[in-house]
Structure 1
Amino acid sequence: MSAPDNESDYEGDEIEFAGGDSDEELDEEALVWQLMLLINPGDEDTALQQFARYRETCEDDADAEPAETIQEVIDWTSGYRVDWKDTGSFIDSIAQLASRWNLSVDWGVEDPTDEDFLDATDVPELMAKAFVRLREHGYTLWNRDTGSDMYAGWITLRRDDENMEAVAAALGIDIRLGSDAY
């Protein structure tokens, strides 16, 4: 394999999204579709259902914020959103999301619903644990800036990390790996 001859060999090195030409500017709807595919790996039916609900919501409310609308249509199916102190709901939502791929997260305790355990931890600590456990199986836990005291995000395949970052950035959604909570 030889090195590129000149700078022109680097042109067009943008990330290519599934179904799109890298030279085309993807519109918001196309980007949302890409996001739906990323957060529903191997489950195009769910992605289609969520995308249809997204489009319906946007038709009803032209000023709908993409991140919030996406979160509304994916909650508890392909995404999580919990209050900053609701450790129990975070564990439940991650368990439900991970079960889509026949995975379970080892929280490091025998009973993660135990009140003493839940009181002694917080969502960012749990998010970091879930991130590590999911990475072991080829998945990435993401969290997004909600601009509030809520935590929200989704899970993608680890191999799609760069695409996830590109799609989220193009949509104006500020995301981080689950190991680094907002």
Structure 2
Amino acid sequence: MSAPDREFDPDDNFENSREDEAHLPDDGDEASVEALVWQLLLAINPGDEEAALRQFDGYRDAVAAADADEDEDEDDSEPMARLRDVIDWRSGFHVAADDTATFIDAVNELAARWNLAIDWGVEDAGDDEFLADTDVPALMATAYDRLREYGYTLWTWDAGPDAHAGWITLSRDDDAVRVLAPALGIDVRLGSDAF
């Protein structure tokens, strides 16, 4: 496994992204897109470069498979479409719009990477009555607030009207995510403001 061949230091986490926008991809510049994907994977796997490398390899495999598939849907060519399965339940979540139980399970799983437990405001977050009386955006706002207390940010990206998706980063990387995601064509928001 290896990081993309690029002039970026993989540990800079886009600290200089606002001063130098020459790194943003031009149409068809696959190396630039890969460099941005690598930086995003580093951001959503804080402190775990090995996981980022495994996911980056998965992304490259998805790109290679798509390049071999002449019938590929245009929407499937976007970086997030290729990343979604690679990061799901590892460093990201993608759940049905009304699936509160799976959302809680996914975010709990992601937060556990840093030995964090989300306080959902009830004794049993799996209680059927609690799950029926809430929705994913409300739960996302709760998780966002709890994670901020520990220096993390819950993000959501536009997964369409039938799903909610996102990831968790260190709060200090908020500016980097605001540069990386749009550069990759990913519409993101803070988890406190779900799509």
Whether TM exceeds 0.5 here: the answer is yes
* Equivalent of residue 54 in structure 1, options 53, 59, 63: 59
Would you say 1:73 and 2:86 are equivalent positions? yes
Match of 1:33 in 2: 38
SS of equivalent to 2:20: coil
TM-score (structure 1 length as normaliser): 0.87
Please state how far the C-alpha of 1:54 moved relative to its aligned partner.
0.1
Matches within 5 A, 1:14-163: 17=14, 22=20, 24-26=22-24, 27-62=32-67, 64-163=77-176
Which residue identity is paired with 1:38? A
Please state how far the C-alpha of 1:70 moved relative to its aligned partner.
1.0
Please state how far the C-alpha of 1:148 moved relative to its aligned partner.
3.4
Please state how far the C-alpha of 1:146 moved relative to its aligned partner.
1.1
Q: Which runs of 5+ in 1 are unaligned?
A: 1-14
Q: Kindly tell me: are residues 114 and 152 of structure 1, through their superposed partners in 2, closer, same or farther at Cα, counting changes over 3 Å?
A: same
SS of equivalent to 1:100: helix
Which residue identity is paired with 1:59? A
Distance 1:23 1:179 in 2: 28
Which residue identity is paired with 2:23? E
| C-alpha contact (below 8 Å) 2:41/2:56 kept by paired residues | yes
SS of equivalent to 2:126: coil
Q: Which runs of 5+ in 2 are unaligned?
A: 1-11, 25-31
SS of equivalent to 1:121: coil
Matches within 5 A, 1:4-15: none
SS of equivalent to 1:151: strand
Would you say 1:180 and 2:186 are equivalent positions? no
Please state how far the C-alpha of 1:16 moved relative to its aligned partner.
7.4
Post-superposition CA distance 1:132-151 (Å, at most 9, x none) = 00000000000001123100
| C-alpha contact (below 8 Å) 1:18/1:34 kept by paired residues | no
SS of equivalent to 2:107: helix
Distance 1:110 1:52 in 2: 40
Q: Kindly tell me: are residues 117 and 135 of structure 1, through their superposed partners in 2, closer, same or farther at Cα, counting changes over 3 Å?
A: same
Question: Which piece of structure 1 moves more, 141-150 or 71-80?
Answer: 141-150
Which residue identity is paired with 2:173? D
Which residue identity is paired with 1:133? R
| C-alpha contact (below 8 Å) 1:16/1:22 kept by paired residues | no
TM-score (structure 2 length as normaliser): 0.82
Post-superposition CA distance 1:38-80 (Å, at most 9, x none) = 0000000000000000001101103522111111100001000
The CA RMSD over aligned residues, in Å, is 1.9
SS of equivalent to 2:114: coil
